[in-house]
Chain A
């Protein structure tokens, strides 16, 4: 395939290593695997990757995956961050469904929560382009814009020393993705589909980051609840590589994640 790209890659001359490098490589040691870097930016899949794999199982009615709009007026910053992540995942779903109005509505809600969390003005202005792309039905560009905006929101939070919020945005988005995908697979079960839910590394990564949150953040009611549920969710998606979860197990996962998201979106008393 690389030869097709050769003219496109300018003057760089690729050298195809005809013999697979994998055949020459020695296996990694347990120490090397344990010491591998794990980053929010590349170790955690974006919702778009998850959706791309799901789209290969058959045509999906993405508009049926919309949820009742959640509130945007929370008093707790950790809860805002969790819901912001979920809303961003909603944005990916609206883009897959190619629903202009839904994209605009979600974009507005994302903006409201991001502002409340103090995300920088530059990023907020950038997110305005999401509505413009939706107006023009530029769905491919919109996917890229959504991903870039998501990363910029996290970058802005990290620069503001709000690393704990970055973790919570990631957790919220991932949960919403798992809810949608486990719902789809539960309703149209195949073993191949069930195996897509296997993400032991993601759950482990997110749980480790949740454990490292400052005590003040961990005391937040929404974070306490998420940490408790994430432990169970982690167990359900860490099934053996050669064994697909049963349809009942997929439905159990879906219910657990859906309940978690409902609790996250409830206003704290």
Chain B
């Protein structure tokens, strides 16, 4: 099942999340993110068929607003292209306060997992903490 999904996700580049032509860098970053996010599906997480891609640089993080539901568990994963040597992902609640999570990081990919106590707005910040400007792709999984 995971293979089916990953094949569809990577090959079709169909998600409405981008609704624009993906660059080669965004495709590469997406593949990096899916390599990690795909592993979560083995633990019952469903990988959402959508993504957010673009470029970021040291000192110039990118932030996305999402709407999450209490009771669900979430994993956000960001992949980046090699110029980014270390990336970080942080989730904030609707007041802008960082939300404690389970963060993991390995060179150009990072993930963080958490379960919201309340339904509503959250913000996901992705940033380059070491390296140079790069393309990134954010995906998320839930169960």
Q: How many A-B residue pairs have CB under 8 A?
A: 211
How many chain A residues touch B (Cβ–Cβ < 8 Å)? 68
Q: How far is the CA of A5 from the CA of B102 in the complex (A)?
A: 14
Contact (Cβ within 8 A) B104 A52: no
Q: Check B35–A12 contact: CB distance below 8 A.
A: yes
Q: Identify which of residues 1-60 in chain A touch chain B, using a CB-to-CB cut-off of 8 Å.
A: 1-2, 4-5, 8-10, 12-17, 20-23, 25-30, 32-33, 35-46, 48-50, 52-53, 56-57
Residues of B within 8 Å of A192, CB to CB, are 70-71
CB-defined contacts of B42 to chain A, threshold 8 Å: 5, 8
Check if B15 sits within 8 Å of A155, measured CB to CB: yes
A98 to chain B, nearest CB (A): 16
Note all chain A residues with C-beta closer than 8 A to B39.
5, 8-9
Do A13 and B121 form a contact, CB below 8 Å, given A32-B96, A45-B68? no
A152 touching B19 in the complex, CB below 8 Å, given contacts A14-B106, A27-B96, A43-B67: no
Task: Write the residues of chain A forming the contact surface with B, with a CB cutoff of 8 angstroms.
Answer: 1-2, 4-5, 8-10, 12-17, 20-23, 25-30, 32-33, 35-46, 48-50, 52-53, 56-57, 140-141, 143-144, 147-148, 150-152, 154-155, 158, 163, 166, 192, 195-202, 241
With A158-B16, A158-B19 given, name 20 new contacts (CB 8 A). Answer: A1-B102, A5-B42, A16-B104, A20-B100, A20-B101, A21-B90, A21-B101, A21-B112, A25-B90, A27-B92, A33-B96, A37-B63, A42-B17, A50-B69, A53-B119, A56-B72, A144-B46, A151-B17, A201-B121, A241-B94
